[in-house]
């Protein structure tokens, strides 16, 4: 088969089948799970088909243009790293769906469940194979959205809705959009969205590292990865995500989706690593998170909660190791990280499946209510022990090897950084290891060892059917196999994956026994301290609970709830200020801006220009008219009944007409007086129909506000007039010259105003007459129809 076709099929087969699921479910009922699992298996086999090519050190790169004008293509890029994650997504997906056929009650909405899981699987595979950052982002968000849907699968439980929303806000909202910004910044630097292009071009990488935006780009992309992988302050969504059905938690929230962030870190490793910022951000966040999450895991009594915190802590190992690769041999940390990524997926999925089995059979996940189940569930006990011991780092299991490598890499980086890091980093690593050891032992001891807790447990508890045990057993087998024969995963999976990150071929040698080394010493110390911590386990947990009660605000969740939990209420408070209603309030900002925009330049002008010259030489009879104008204006404003106010206004109008006469403009004066007469008549006619006095009492503050507005407007206009008459603006050639020259020549008329109206602008005048005519028709019609209705 054509290899790119196989890849595209592996991506889109789950999507396509997801659409069919609801219809198929009507036919095959609850057996839909097996059909869905089959799709997972087919995807897995398709990937197996292409793996020889990748193991040989080749990459598959194929793309078609999608939106060429902005450089966005749709393409696939398959290398060892992406293949590793895709294997996890399809392989574990297959096991999980098979397991779910027994785990999920037949009464549940199974079509929706398998639909979401398939959509997630397709998105995850599509995300890792994306050759374009925008395409990667799209699938990235799809995984967040499907995760949201799966966490909120039980819609009626408020807790699961809360958890679903939290994960969506933090991973898709915060992290996803930070990632998008980072991607856009990366494009601004490199001019491309194409991942292989950036990876292959050394000069581009140099350009990125020396660019001003380097830090911002790295930071935003790192935020995206950290939010997805529950690192740093973003860890808070993962414990709440445990409200999902347990197979979903095993699949998304331990084995695959949370690995997406680590995949991204691996993908951009060649671009950003080797810088101080990378070391501080990635390794620093990892080191802090692994200890904090490991410590918090101790407090959990719900095994699933414990596994959630342990997942955060284990992911932090991987994150730290990807961050380690700064100055020295870059491959060591990357190999350790990639190997641990694979191992964690196997042993943690095993443990989640065991928790599912225990909860399914014993009807509780609370460690205080469990205990002594080893005799009743012997097979489960064995599988759980393998998983937990691998997590604790006990030989000969795969977790032991990757933990040794983690210690080795920590010592290495510490040494290369010098004092005081050569002690500090290995110490932090050992502390994390000790915590891991303690809670791993707790899982086995709490569930299977000790005395049977008859008070809380059902009378009869037994191993589940082969359908639920099988997937867990297969994973446990892989844990042992990869532990005893590390060369199998190394040569077939890890080497291609690592060469996908460091971009050169690599050969890794690993074996179970590698001599007496510093790492071995650290492991021995870890086990010793781990046992001591485990003895003190309850005391530590109690102290943590006490502390939380005393300091409720010392928690990230507290701030999350404050900000997002009350988002709607907070928004309401703000909204009330902006949604007032009366149109006066709507006009206020507009008018304010208008006034300011006029006042501002005038103030600038008065600073810049020479002072205004006033001319107060006015004949006394004119002065009388002006005083009368002011008096009538004031009267119009203060008279408390309509008719006298209107008379005052019209008196004002007539007085202005007189001013026009003083200014030798009799035609204007006549127009003014005519218009004034008409408006007065209309006013008086209208006023005779309404009450004669103002009934409404205007509140004092509104009155002052209105006075202020009027004064501002008036003084602004006054200032404009003052400056306009000074001739600041260079006038363009006036049109009046044209009319003066041409009026007699073209029309023979001497009255220029008349000539303009009936000759130069005769069409305008015609239009006006038509408008008046139509308006009159309308008025007639209105009056007419009014009479009819009566």
Partner 1 sequence: MEDILLLAPEIILAVTALVVLVAGLYLKTEHKVALGFISVAGIIMAIALTMSIMLAKTSASMFYDTMVIDPLSQVFKLVFLSVALLVSIASVKYVSEDRNTEEFFALLLLAIIGMMVVSSSNDLITLFLGFELAGLATYALVGFEKKNIKVLEASMKYFIIGAVSSAFLLFGMSYVYGMTGTTNIPGIAANAHLLVDNPIGIVAIVMLIAGFGYKMSLVPFHMWAPDTYQGAPSVISALLAGASKKMGFIAAFKVIIVALIALNAEWQTIFAVLAVITMTLGNVVALSQDSVKRMLAYSSVAQAGYISMAFVVLTPTALAGGILYILSHAFMKAGAFIAVAIVGFMILVGNKDARDTDHIDNFRGLSKRMPITAFALMVFLLALAGIPATAGFVSKFVLFSSTIEAGLVWLAVIAILNSAISLFYYARVIKYMYFMPTEGGRITEPAPYAIAMILALVAVLVIGIWPEPFIYWASEAANVLLI
Nearer to partner 1, 516 or 732 (CB): 732
Nearer to partner 1, 174 or 739 (CB): 174
What angle, rounded to 10 degrees, do the helices at 110-129 and 32-55 form?
10
How far from 788 is each of 452, 774, 777, 784, 785, CA to CA, in Å?
Answer: 96, 21, 16, 6, 5
CB of 604 to partner 1, least distance (A): 4
The counts of H helices and E strands in the chain are: 35, 2
C-alpha to C-alpha distance for 709 and 204, rounded to whole angstroms: 60
C-alpha to C-alpha distance for 92 and 96, rounded to whole angstroms: 6
CB of 572 to partner 1, least distance (A): 4
How many other C-beta atoms are found inside a 10 Å radius of the C-beta of residue 519? 21
Exposed, middle or buried by CB within 10 Å (0-12, 13-18, 19+), for 146? buried
CB of 775 to partner 1, least distance (A): 14
Closest CA to 183 of 174, 173, 194, 199: 194
Assess contact for 435 and 393: CB atoms under 8 A: no
Nearer to partner 1, 233 or 372 (CB): 233
CB of 180 to partner 1, least distance (A): 6
CB of 13 to partner 1, least distance (A): 19
Nearer to partner 1, 462 or 761 (CB): 761
3-state secondary structure of 693: strand
Assess contact for 230 and 285: CB atoms under 8 A: no
CB of 226 to partner 1, least distance (A): 17
CB of 559 to partner 1, least distance (A): 17
C-alpha to C-alpha distance for 188 and 184, rounded to whole angstroms: 6
How many other C-beta atoms are found inside a 10 Å radius of the C-beta of residue 6? 20
Nearer to partner 1, 539 or 590 (CB): 590
Nearer to partner 1, 542 or 575 (CB): 575
Which run of H or E residues covers position 477?
helix 466-484
How far from 542 is each of 252, 300, 503, CA to CA, in Å?
Answer: 31, 10, 49
3-state secondary structure of 41: helix
CB of 184 to partner 1, least distance (A): 5
Which run of H or E residues covers position 412?
helix 398-417
Contact footprint for partner 1 (CB under 8 A): 67-70, 72, 134, 137-138, 141, 155, 173-174, 177, 180-181, 184-185, 187-188, 213, 216, 567-568, 571-572, 574-575, 578-579, 581, 583, 585-587, 589-591, 593-594, 597-598, 600-602, 604-605, 608, 728-729, 732
3-state secondary structure of 709: helix
Nearer to partner 1, 89 or 185 (CB): 185
Name the DSSP class of 193: -
C-alpha to C-alpha distance for 195 and 501, rounded to whole angstroms: 12
CB of 68 to partner 1, least distance (A): 7
Nearer to partner 1, 183 or 358 (CB): 183
What residues are paired with 73 via a beta bridge? 65
Nearer to partner 1, 606 or 677 (CB): 606
C-alpha to C-alpha distance for 673 and 650, rounded to whole angstroms: 9
CB of 582 to partner 1, least distance (A): 9
CB of 595 to partner 1, least distance (A): 10
CB of 74 to partner 1, least distance (A): 11
Cis amide bond preceding 396, omega within 30: yes
3-state secondary structure of 132: strand
Which run of H or E residues covers position 74?
strand 72-78
| DSSP class per residue in 296-348 | HHTT--BHHHHHHHHHHHHHHHHHHHHHH-SSS-THHHHHHHHHHHHHHHHHH
Nearer to partner 1, 69 or 419 (CB): 69
CB of 718 to partner 1, least distance (A): 15
CB of 765 to partner 1, least distance (A): 18
Compute CA 582 distance to the chain's CA centroid, rounded to the nearest angstrom: 36
CB of 588 to partner 1, least distance (A): 9
C-alpha to C-alpha distance for 714 and 666, rounded to whole angstroms: 27
Nearer to partner 1, 141 or 519 (CB): 141
Cis amide bond preceding 420, omega within 30: yes
Phi and psi dihedrals of 72, rounded to 5?
Answer: -105, 120
Nearer to partner 1, 379 or 598 (CB): 598
Nearer to partner 1, 585 or 766 (CB): 585
Nearer to partner 1, 190 or 453 (CB): 190
CB of 600 to partner 1, least distance (A): 7
CB of 221 to partner 1, least distance (A): 14
CB of 565 to partner 1, least distance (A): 12
Place of tokens 């988002």: 567
C-alpha to C-alpha distance for 680 and 676, rounded to whole angstroms: 6
Torsion of CA 422, 425, 427, 432, to 10 degrees: -160
Nearer to partner 1, 219 or 654 (CB): 219
| DSSP class per residue in 222-237 | HHHHHHHTT-GGGGGH
Nearer to partner 1, 585 or 770 (CB): 585
Question: Which letter, b or e, does each residue of 403-428 get, where b requires 16 or more Cβ atoms within 10 Å of its Cβ?
Answer: bbbbbbbbbbbbeebeeebbeebbeb
Nearer to partner 1, 245 or 414 (CB): 245
Exposed, middle or buried by CB within 10 Å (0-12, 13-18, 19+), for 751? exposed
Nearer to partner 1, 184 or 379 (CB): 184
Which run of H or E residues covers position 72?
strand 72-78
């Amino acid at each position: 088969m054509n290899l790119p076709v196989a890849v595209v099929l592996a991506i889109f087969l789950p999507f396509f089948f997801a659409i069919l699921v609801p219809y198929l479910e009507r036919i095959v009922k609850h057996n839909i799970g097996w059909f869905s699992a089959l799709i997972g298996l087919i995807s897995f086999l398709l990937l197996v088909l292409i793996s020889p090519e990748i193991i040989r050190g080749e990459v598959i790169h194929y793309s078609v243009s999608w939106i060429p004008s902005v450089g966005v293509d749709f393409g696939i890029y398959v290398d060892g790293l992406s293949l590793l994650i895709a294997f996890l997504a399809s392989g574990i997906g297959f096991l999980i769906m098979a397991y779910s056929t027994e785990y999920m009650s037949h009464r549940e909405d199974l079509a929706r469940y398998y639909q979401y899981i398939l959509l997630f699987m397709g998105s995850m595979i599509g995300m890792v194979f994306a050759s374009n950052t925008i395409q990667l982002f799209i699938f990235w968000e799809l995984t967040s959205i499907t995760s949201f849907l799966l966490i909120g699968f039980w819609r009626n439980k408020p807790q699961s809705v809360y958890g679903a929303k939290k994960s969506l806000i933090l991973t898709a909202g915060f992290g996803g959009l930070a990632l998008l910004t980072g991607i856009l910044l990366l494009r601004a630097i490199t001019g491309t969205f194409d991942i292989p292009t950036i990876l292959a071009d050394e000069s581009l990488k140099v350009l990125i590292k020396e660019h001003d935006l380097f830090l911002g780009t790295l930071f935003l992309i790192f935020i995206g990865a950290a939010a997805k992988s529950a690192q740093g302050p973003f860890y808070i969504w993962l414990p709440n995500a445990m409200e999902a059905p347990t197979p979903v938690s095993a699949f998304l929230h331990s084995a695959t989706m949370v690995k997406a962030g680590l995949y991204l870190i691996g993908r951009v490793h060649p671009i950003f690593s080797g810088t101080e910022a990378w070391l501080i951000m990635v390794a620093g966040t990892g080191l802090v998170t692994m200890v904090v999450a490991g410590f918090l895991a101790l407090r959990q009594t719900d095994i699933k909660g414990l596994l959630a915190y342990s997942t955060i802590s284990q992911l932090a190992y991987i994150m730290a190791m990807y961050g380690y690769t700064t100055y020295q041999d870059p491959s060591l940390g990357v190999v350790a990280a990639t190997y641990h990524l694979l191992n964690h997926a196997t042993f943690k999925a095993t443990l989640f499946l065991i928790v599912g089995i225990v909860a399914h059979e014993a009807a509780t996940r609370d460690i205080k209510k469990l205990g002594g189940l080893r005799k009743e569930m012997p097979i489960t006990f064995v599988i759980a022990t393998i998983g937990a011991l691998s997590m604790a780092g006990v030989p000969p299991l795969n977790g032991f090897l990757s933990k040794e490598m983690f210690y080795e890499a920590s010592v290495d980086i510490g040494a290369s950084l010098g004092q005081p890091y050569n002690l500090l980093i290995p110490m932090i690593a050992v502390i994390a290891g000790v915590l891991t050891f303690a809670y791993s032992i707790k899982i086995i001891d709490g569930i299977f060892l000790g005395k049977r807790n008859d008070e809380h447990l059902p009378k009869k508890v037994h191993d589940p059917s082969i359908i639920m045990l099988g997937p867990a057993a297969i994973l446990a087998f892989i844990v042992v196999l990869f532990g005893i024969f590390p060369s199998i995963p190394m040569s077939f999976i890890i080497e291609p994956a690592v060469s996908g990150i460091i971009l050169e071929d690599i050969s890794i040698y690993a074996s179970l026994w590698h001599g007496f080394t510093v790492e071995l010493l650290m492991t021995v110390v870890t086990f010793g301290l781990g046992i001591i911590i485990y003895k003190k386990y309850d005391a530590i947990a109690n102290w943590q609970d006490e502390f939380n009660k005393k300091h409720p605000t010392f928690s990230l969740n507290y701030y999350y709830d404050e900000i997002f939990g009350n988002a709607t209420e907070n928004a309401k408070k703000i909204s009330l200020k902006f949604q007032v209603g009366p149109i006066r309030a709507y006009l206020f900002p507009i008018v304010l801006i208008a006034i300011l925009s006029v006042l501002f330049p005038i103030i600038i002008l008065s600073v810049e220009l020479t002072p205004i010259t006033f001319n107060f030489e006015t004949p006394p009879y004119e002065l009388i008219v002006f005083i009368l104008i002011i008096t009538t204006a004031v009267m119009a404003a203060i008279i408390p009944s309509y008719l006298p106010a209107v008379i005052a206004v019209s008196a004002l109008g007539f007085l202005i007409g007189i001013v026009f006469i003083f200014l030798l403009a009799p035609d204007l004066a006549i127009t003014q007086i005519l218009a004034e007469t008409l408006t007065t008549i209309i006013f008086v006619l209208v006023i005779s129909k309404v009450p004669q006095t103002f009934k409404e009492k205007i509140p004092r503050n509104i009155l002052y506000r209105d006075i202020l507005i009027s004064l501002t407007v008036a003084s602004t206009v006054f200032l404009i007039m003052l400056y306009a008459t000074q001739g600041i603006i260079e006038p363009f050639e006036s049109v009046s010259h044209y009319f003066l020259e041409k009026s007699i020549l073209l029309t023979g008329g001497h009255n220029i105003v008349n000539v303009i109206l009936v000759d130069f602008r005769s069409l305008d005048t015609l239009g006006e007459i038509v408008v008046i005519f139509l308006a009159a028709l309308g008025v007639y019609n209105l009056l007419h129809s009014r009479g009819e209705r009566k």
